[in-house]
Amino acid sequence: MDATGVSHIAICVRDLDKSLEFYQDILGMRVTLDQVQDTTTGGLPHVYRHARKTRRTVHVRYGPEGNTTPSLVLTSHPGDEADGTPIKLDQVGISHISFSVKDLKGLTEELIAKGVSLAGPLDSFTNAQGETNSIFVYDPDGILVQFDSGGGG
């Protein structure tokens, strides 16, 4: 296989509009697609734990129009409750999503000012040299979102 890169990461959310307030309004991502799909056909019933009739998918990404960076796909099921709980870093599954940013300190201050809670005290993200190379926050569903100064794990 000769993959060319990651096309997208998808996360299921309980309230898509609330998640858009976080990813679009607070984090500044832009919506590139918003659609409702029939999940009863086309192989989709086989990749669900429960029977679902529809799925709303909203693709968000950073960068200008035409940018081909990977997108984050937020999914929900209109009229249907999502089940499950977000996982932590030591559990099987996709444990978090991460974005590299140019000014981590400035972003951290901005997120705190906007009422976004860090996933721990600020000093817990600071190394012995007094540097902060990454932070974690929780999105509205408790999914871990990491921001790093480039190349963070």
| Whether residues 9 and 71 fall in one domain | yes
> What span, in angstroms and rounded, lies between the C-alpha atoms of 86 and 62?
24
Residue type, position 1, single letter: M
| Whether residues 74 and 95 fall in one domain | no
Q: Is residue 87 over pLDDT 70?
A: yes
In this structure, which long-range contacts are made by residues 24-33, counting pairs with CB atoms below 8 Å and at least 24 apart in sequence?
24/60, 26/111, 26/114, 26/116, 27/99, 28/62, 29/60, 29/61, 29/62, 29/72, 30/60, 30/61, 30/62, 31/58, 31/59, 31/60, 32/59, 32/60, 32/61, 32/71, 33/57, 33/58, 33/59
| Whether residues 1 and 46 fall in one domain | yes
Mean pLDDT calculated for residue range 77-87: 88
> What span, in angstroms and rounded, lies between the C-alpha atoms of 23 and 120?
20
- Residue 111, classed as helix, strand or coil, is helix
**CA dihedral sign of residues 74, 136, 152, 147:** positive
| Whether residues 1 and 68 fall in one domain | yes
Residue type, position 45, single letter: P
CA 143 to chain centre: 7
**What's the pLDDT tens digit per position in 11-70?**
999 999 999 999 999 999 999 999 999 888 877 777 888 888 899 999 999 988 888 788
CATH of the domain at 48: 3.10.180.10
Strands (E), 41-80: 54-61, 71-76
Mean pLDDT calculated for residue range 67-82: 88
Domains held by the chain: number: 2
Mean residue pLDDT across the chain: 89
| Whether residues 128 and 62 fall in one domain | no
**Residue 69 is part of which domain span?**
1-83
pLDDT band at 118 (very low <50, low <70, confident <90, very high): very high
H or E element that contains 12: strand 8-12
- The model's pTM: 0.87
| Whether residues 66 and 45 fall in one domain | yes
Q: What is the pLDDT of residue 151?
A: 56
Q: Which residue has the higher pLDDT, 111 or 152?
A: 111
